[in-house]
Structure 1
Amino acid sequence: MEQPDLIRSARFRKEREEDWARLEKLVAKAESQGLHRMSFDEARDLAALYREGTTSLAIAREISLDKALLHYLEALTARAYLSVYAPQESVRGVFSRFLRRGAPQAMRRSWLFIALGFLCMGLGALAGYLLYFEDPAWYYVMMPPELAGGRGPDASTSYLRSVIYDEDPDASGLGAFATFLFSHNTRIAIFVFGLGVFLCAPAIALTFYNGLIFGSFIALHVDRGLGWDIAGWLSIHGVTELSAICIACGGGLQLGAAILFPGQLSRIESLRQAGRDAAKLAIVAAVMLVAAALLEGFGRQLIQDMNTRLAIGWGIGLLWLLWFALGGRARS
């Protein structure tokens, strides 16, 4: 019985192996150069031979030919399928489409969750600000020591002022503080997105806590008459950086809401659908954090005028808002 099967397998292979070799050659060319660089005849033959290949695979499975042939046909047809039907777009094209349409459209669809992220941050900042003026000792409760870096209620006003206006921020410790602040905020953004799936609570708590830190830090300088000065220093990168945290929080809340309120869908299906936009929000937050790092790295040191820093920080914030509001809208 085994001998007739081998003979049948050899005959089957011999009758079709020329077409398979031609298909393999076309697939290799499509993989290396792309369909757009193939001639019309080659693209036509690729599609036709792919269909013939799937037919051969179906026949091979039906008549139980040798496993080596089955594995070869399965791999070949899978590669041909990707060459014929997979999106023929470069990484640059995918990223460009994401920036032009995907990201702003996802932001608009998720506006409620993003607004909740900003609300959590804003309430935390307000609470931190008010608690400081209720009792400055709250500052040490809310502010991690490594973030404070010597800036607290016990520090003198002249010291706080000198830190902000020192032309050598590395010598004053402000450069180290800014670097640590960026690292801290990046971790917070990752956590609020990743932990949002756990019924939203961790994302809300972390965003609120980050607001507490921000509010108490601002209150310290306002109390010393340096509110405008620290606002200028923080604005140049903080508008983008803190917005990224709120957007990441919105993405996490979107995942958590999909589990809490799946509607008519199963929780897995609801999470899968919500994850499409939530993942885009996470990428937007990552892009904004990179932009904030560049603004902090160059703007903080090169631009010393507080009014200019305020204008740059909030001007760039306005550009982000215009991108989110207008990007990807269909033209009439």
Structure 2
Amino acid sequence: MDLDVFIAAHRPEWDRLAELVRRQNSLSGAEADELITLYQRVATHLSVVRSKAPDPVVVERLSALTAQARSAVTGTHAPAWREFGLFFTRGLPAAMYRTWRWWVPTSAVFLLLTGLLAAWVARDPQVQATIAAPDEVRELTRSGGDFESYYSSSPASSFAARVWTNNAWVAAGCLLLGVLLGIPVVIMLGVNAINVGISGGLMFAAGRGDVFLGLIAPHGLLELTALFVAAGTGLKLGWTVIDPGGLPRGQALARQGRTVVLMALGLTCVLFVSGVIEAFVTPSGLPTWARIAIGVAAEIAFLAYVFVVGRRAAREGETGDLDQQYAGDEAPVAA
């Protein structure tokens, strides 16, 4: 092969490809098609030169040109740290915002039932007597008793890890088991509502309602909100089984299921924060108002994260689902 003739014959194509690569961010549709065609041709030229007349200068130029063209055609892979940042600044808050119509009513029902149960227990001594023996109730509610000492029963770091693990499992259960028509989610919420309502009722009956609120509020606001988000999302997953919303049931469940898994990862981080507050702030010697203020600040920050950051991302089209390159293609569905 005469290399000089080969270069003279194909140099215009190489120069044109180099020009298109330089302008890759402003190409028209026809130019983008031309870029792909020329990339394939120049890759073939490189193969021919390597096999027939491996001139180092020509091989180096064509290798660099095909590498640049390949990057322009296929795109560059986003760094992991960037995808991680986008998940927490767009994907996760958008997913939480898009499910607020499920978890906000869920939280309202939970708090209403818990409040009614606590009031019933606090006002009726007979109900209190059916819960536990008088000595056990006194041990639970007295100053330094079981309820109060629970938060300092272990070193703060190990207590935080235990609380975080437990809450993460509960949240994951609410999210993933929601596919069973939401029945396990309702059961788990009911158990938690009963526990909180009974404890609160007994503490208020003993005249120590301020202590109860001072111990529950710092971490409980954020912790319960995270669990409400998990429960509401799990209930939505269960409803998707019943009504896939015009999509094939498998496709609808796959889409909602991916969001559920991603939200489980995000809520684990939220529950880590509430676990740290429960271990280091709740049993601390800070005044009650200061401990509650920390809990309120954490709750406000979370709600702003959902209803400000998440709302903005959702309005810009973010769904909280995986990118298409990870989620895979979906078959089109007729409206």
What is the TM-score when the length of structure 1 is the normalising length?
Answer: 0.63
Q: Report the AA paired with residue 192 of structure 1.
A: C
* CA pair 154-170 structure 1, distance change in 2 beyond 3 A: closer
Partner of 2:307: 325
**1:200-231 CA deviation, whole Å, 9 max, x = no partner?**
11111211211111111111211112111221
Shift of 1:179: 6.8
Partner of 1:187: 169
Partner of 2:137: 153
After TM superposition, list the pairs within 5 Å mapping 1:63-78 onto structure 2: none
> How many Å separate the matches in 2 of 1:128 and 1:181?
25
> How many Å separate the matches in 1 of 2:79 and 2:246?
37
Partner of 2:111: 122
State how many pairs are aligned. Answer: 253
Identity of aligned residues (%): 24
Q: State yes or no: 1:48 paired with 2:39.
A: yes
> How many Å separate the matches in 2 of 1:200 and 1:87?
41
Consecutive unaligned residues in structure 2, runs of 5 or more: 1-34, 48-69, 317-335
After TM superposition, list the pairs within 5 Å mapping 1:247-258 onto structure 2: 247-258=229-240
* CA pair 179-306 structure 1, distance change in 2 beyond 3 A: farther
Shift of 1:240: 1.4
Consecutive unaligned residues in structure 1, runs of 5 or more: 1-43, 57-80, 142-149
> How many Å separate the matches in 2 of 1:229 and 1:178?
21
Q: State yes or no: 1:107 paired with 2:96.
A: yes
Partner of 1:136: 128
Q: State yes or no: 1:261 paired with 2:253.
A: no
Partner of 1:213: 195
Q: State yes or no: 1:169 paired with 2:152.
A: yes
Shift of 1:50: 11
Partner of 1:278: 260
Q: Report the AA paired with residue 228 of structure 1.
A: D
**1:157-197 CA deviation, whole Å, 9 max, x = no partner?**
5445696389x9338x9999887655443332121111100
* CA pair 48-201 structure 1, distance change in 2 beyond 3 A: same
RMSD, matched Cα = 4.0
Partner of 1:204: 186
Q: CA contact under 8 A between 1:110 and 1:277: conserved in structure 2?
A: no
Which structure would you say has the larger RCO, counting Cα contacts within 8 Å and 6 or more residues apart? 2
Q: CA contact under 8 A between 1:163 and 1:174: conserved in structure 2?
A: no
**1:270-298 CA deviation, whole Å, 9 max, x = no partner?**
11222343334323321111111222232
**1:126-161 CA deviation, whole Å, 9 max, x = no partner?**
3541452340145459xxxxxxxx995242754456
> How many Å separate the matches in 1 of 2:42 and 2:195?
62
Partner of 1:245: 227
- The farther-off stretch of 110-119 and 314-323 is 110-119
Q: Report the AA paired with residue 168 of structure 2.
A: T
> How many Å separate the matches in 2 of 1:197 and 1:51?
52
Shift of 1:99: 1.6
> How many Å separate the matches in 1 of 2:41 and 2:200?
65
* CA pair 242-51 structure 1, distance change in 2 beyond 3 A: farther
- The farther-off stretch of 104-113 and 118-127 is 118-127
> How many Å separate the matches in 1 of 2:287 and 2:141?
19
> How many Å separate the matches in 1 of 2:279 and 2:76?
38
What is the TM-score when the length of structure 2 is the normalising length?
Answer: 0.63
